[in-house]
């Protein structure tokens, strides 16, 4: 099970306990195993989770303010944090207390007084499971050739990001990018060169992004999709123009293209239109804009006619 998990030293464990002595003890015991960060309140820990995304949380059940059980339930209700395993520390051996731990979403619990060897073995085992799960998840969502996220991940994220966009009333932009005359490139240069060109183009598109929230995916074949949360039409147009120009500047020779180099066409759509309220509509508008870019000579971007003016 763990043969590809070489080390857990880089993993981060969040220790949450309102007793300073317990926090120091747990951190000291785990120091040779992994990195630890500790806090005394569940409220603070939840806020920090969004920033550091720990690999595992060790938390006392009975905390002042928000209890450990409440914090665990809150954590599991948030999609971006729900996969973080939680282990409770408890002094109770009552079956009903242990049952509450499982019901809250914990993966395990450790009884007080803490036994160093037990703590190390329990934490090591759960961290290895977490790392293994992350590896498998990454493999299922990443395209093997370009190392971008794949279409499966795109379908999940466009649904999530669009719902968030509509709920918060902020714009979400979608770009569909297609490598111009790519079949001709493969036919004339060979598929090995085609693969290399595709990787070079996708790398360049990724370099154009400036924020961690910007998402670049391999949409299919030679098509790339980019999702830009909290991005106005004007900013998305600037981004699209940057993509077109930067790919052209790679100067990848393409003798069978009228442009002589590998170029891309880009279709842009954005929420704000009354019609762009579902992933299908947002994709449909971007696809129509991409078609217009191709019909207009390629090596350019076009924005959907349905995009708002802001």
Distances (CA, A) of 115 to 89, 120, 255: 12, 9, 70
> If we measure between CA atoms, which residue out of 46, 44, 66, 49 comes closest to residue 12?
49
Q: Kindly report the CA angle at 241 between 239 and 244, in degrees rounded to 5?
A: 110
**Distance (Å, whole) CA 288 – CA 294:** 10
Largest CA distance in the chain: 76
* Spatial distance between the Cα atoms of 2 and 116, rounded to a whole number of angstroms: 23
Catalytic residue chosen out of the listed positions 111, 222, 238, 295: 222
111 in catalytic set: no
| Distance of alpha carbon 87 from alpha carbon 107, whole angstroms | 6
| Cα 73 to chain centroid, rounded | 22
Cα 250 → chain centroid: 28
Query: Which residue's structure tokens are 């880009």?
Result: 266
Question: Do residues 148 and 112 make contact, with C-beta atoms less than 8 angstroms apart?
Answer: no
Q: Are 225 and 202 in contact (CB under 8 A)?
A: no
d(CA 81, CA 70): 14
Enumerate the β-bridge partners of residue 155: none
In the block, which residue shows the tokens 């968030």? 164
Radius of gyration of the chain (CA): 24
For the annotated catalytic residues, the residue numbers are 222
């Amino acid at each position: 099970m763990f043969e590809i998990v070489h080390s857990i030293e880089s993993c981060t464990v969040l220790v949450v306990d309102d007793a300073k002595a317990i926090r120091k003890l747990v951190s000291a015991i785990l120091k040779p195993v992994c990195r630890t960060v500790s806090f005394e309140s569940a409220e603070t820990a939840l806020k920090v989770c969004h920033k550091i995304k720990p690999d595992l949380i060790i938390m006392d059940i009975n905390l002042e303010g928000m209890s450990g059980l409440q914090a665990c339930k809150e954590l599991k209700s948030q999609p971006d944090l729900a996969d973080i395993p939680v282990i409770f520390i408890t002094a109770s051996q009552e079956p009903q207390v242990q049952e509450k731990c499982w019901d809250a979403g914990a993966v395990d619990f450790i009884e007080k007084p803490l036994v160093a060897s037990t703590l190390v073995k329990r934490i090591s085992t759960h961290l290895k499971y977490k790392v293994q799960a992350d590896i498998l998840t990454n493999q299922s969502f990443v395209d093997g050739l370009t190392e971008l996220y794949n279409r499966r991940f795109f379908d999940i994220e466009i649904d999530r990001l669009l719902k968030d966009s509509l709920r918060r009333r902020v714009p979400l932009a979608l770009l569909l990018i297609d490598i111009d005359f790519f079949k001709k490139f493969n036919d004339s240069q060979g598929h090995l060169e085609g693969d290399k060109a595709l990787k070079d183009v996708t790398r360049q598109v990724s370099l154009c992004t400036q924020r961690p929230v910007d998402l670049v995916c391999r949409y299919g074949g030679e098509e790339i999709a980019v999702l830009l949360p909290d991005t106005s039409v004007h900013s998305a147009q600037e981004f699209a123009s940057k993509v077109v120009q930067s790919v052209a500047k790679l100067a990848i020779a393409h003798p069978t293209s009228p442009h002589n180099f590998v170029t891309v066409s880009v279709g842009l759509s954005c929420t704000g239109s009354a019609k762009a309220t579902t992933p299908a509509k947002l994709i449909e508008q971007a696809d129509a804009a991409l078609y217009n870019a191709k019909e207009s000579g390629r090596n350019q971007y076009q924005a959907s006619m349905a995009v708002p003016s802001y």
